[in-house]
Amino acid sequence: MPICIECRHPVKTLWREGGGDKSTGHNIRLTVCKNCGRFCDKYVEHDFVVLFIDLVLIKPQVYRHLLHNTLMKDEDEFAPSIIRLGVLLLLFDVYLTWARIEKQSVPSSSSSLDLASSGASGSTPSSTNGGGGASTTVGNSNFGRLAQQPIVLQYIFFLLLCTLSTLAFHGSIRFLTSSRYSPLSFLGILPQYSRPNSVSTALLVSSSTKLFPILMVIWEYDVPAAARSLGWAVVANNVEALKILLDCGYGVASLLAMAGALSRWVMGRVVLWAAGLEGVDSAGEHSVAEDGRALGALLMHAMDWAGRLAVG
């Protein structure tokens, strides 16, 4: 049943025929919500460009329009457009993961000079790097063997890596929200949600910001940094989509998003370990940790500034 995107009040129809401006080709009149007095769904008359911009801006109204009034079916089935979006996101994820791992595994010129100097002096890379370079060297050598394989086999490997990681991400969140054995349901934190495919639909729609790497065709920039920035943006969109769909708080939605991200990271590490790439940083966790510390320092600075402002 459709809802008002402003107040979430259930409505019978979002629009009715007749009464519109025929000169513009829209012969419909939007339904006014009896609860809040505003249009039930203004996005009925908007095009996809406006929808995408509002998705990037994380507006709750556009999520309610897509999740409740457009994409979600009564039988809890995936819409064809969502299946196409999922395939497109998977292909972009393959490109980003491949580029990130390949760039991490290619030694820089400075590291090559260090290895050459250490070899000339008789020292080993592990002694110069405190032991941490050994696993990285092993990962790089294993990736070198993978890079020598045909391009089709390389693509199949990264496609398998991203597919399993995505399935782990969706599966963990679907289990926590829709399974009768969910610990969140046992503890009374979140009631059982009976539409698991709608949960995946919300996650796919909120992950549409992953399509931004298409700009790499025009501008060249740092792939790992771009992947991290996109990762934070996707997490924020996932949290908002889960909050709107499940009608829960930001705490529960953040917990679900963190559980999904952890499952995806674990699955990625398992696949890389099975391929002998355990020394490769699949998700950029070192850089994410640095970003997390920087974000924490920024929050502490903001709290200190707010405290001083309150004191006067």
CA–CA separation, 238 vs 240, rounded Å? 5
Q: Smallest Cα–Cα separation from 63: which of 51, 77, 73, 48?
A: 51
CA–CA distances in Å: residue 284 to residues 118, 267, 289, 293: 27, 15, 9, 14
DSSP-assigned letter for residue 10: B
Strands (E), the chain: 15-21, 26-30
Is 257 contained in some domain?
yes
Q: Are residues 52 and 184 part of one domain?
A: no
**Coil/strand/helix, residue 178:** helix
CA–CA separation, 176 vs 259, rounded Å? 9
Q: Are residues 306 and 178 part of one domain?
A: yes
pLDDT at 156: 92
Q: Are residues 58 and 163 part of one domain?
A: no
Q: Are residues 139 and 47 part of one domain?
A: no
**Coil/strand/helix, residue 232:** helix
> What secondary structure, in 3-state letters, does 19-74 show?
EEEHHHCEEEEECECCCCCCECCHHHHCCHHHHHHHHHCCCHHHHHHHHHHHCCCC
Q: Are residues 222 and 188 part of one domain?
A: yes
For 189-222, the pLDDT digits (tens) are: 999 888 888 899 989 988 887 777 666 655 555 5
Is 6 contained in some domain?
no
Phi/psi for 28 (5° steps) reads -130, 155
Residues near 100 by Cβ (< 8 Å), separated by ≥ 6?
223, 224, 227, 284
Is 4 contained in some domain?
no
Summarize the confidence of residues 64-74 as an average pLDDT.
79
pLDDT above 90 covers a percentage of the chain that reads 18
Q: Are residues 299 and 179 part of one domain?
A: yes
Would the pLDDT of 186 be above 70?
A: yes
Q: Smallest Cα–Cα separation from 195: which of 75, 21, 29?
A: 75
Q: Are residues 98 and 45 part of one domain?
A: no
pLDDT at 131: 47
Is 188 contained in some domain?
yes
Q: Are residues 57 and 143 part of one domain?
A: no
Is 226 contained in some domain?
yes
Distance, C-alpha 77 to centroid of its chain:
22
| Structural domain range at position 246 | 80-105+133-311
Is 209 contained in some domain?
yes
CA–CA separation, 96 vs 224, rounded Å? 8
Would the pLDDT of 96 be above 50?
A: yes
Q: Are residues 200 and 301 part of one domain?
A: yes
Predicted model pTM: 0.73
Tell me the pLDDT of the chain averaged across its residues: 75
Question: Residue 72 CB: number of other CB atoms within 10 A?
Answer: 21
Is 86 contained in some domain?
yes
Q: pLDDT higher for 302 or 76?
A: 76
pLDDT tier at 223, thresholds 50, 70, 90: low
Is 258 contained in some domain?
yes
Whether 114 and 128 have beta carbons less than 8 Å apart is answered as: yes
Q: How many domains does the chain have?
A: 2
CA–CA distances in Å: residue 248 to residues 9, 22, 40, 251: 16, 41, 22, 8
Q: Are residues 221 and 157 part of one domain?
A: yes
Q: Are residues 94 and 23 part of one domain?
A: no
Q: Are residues 301 and 154 part of one domain?
A: yes
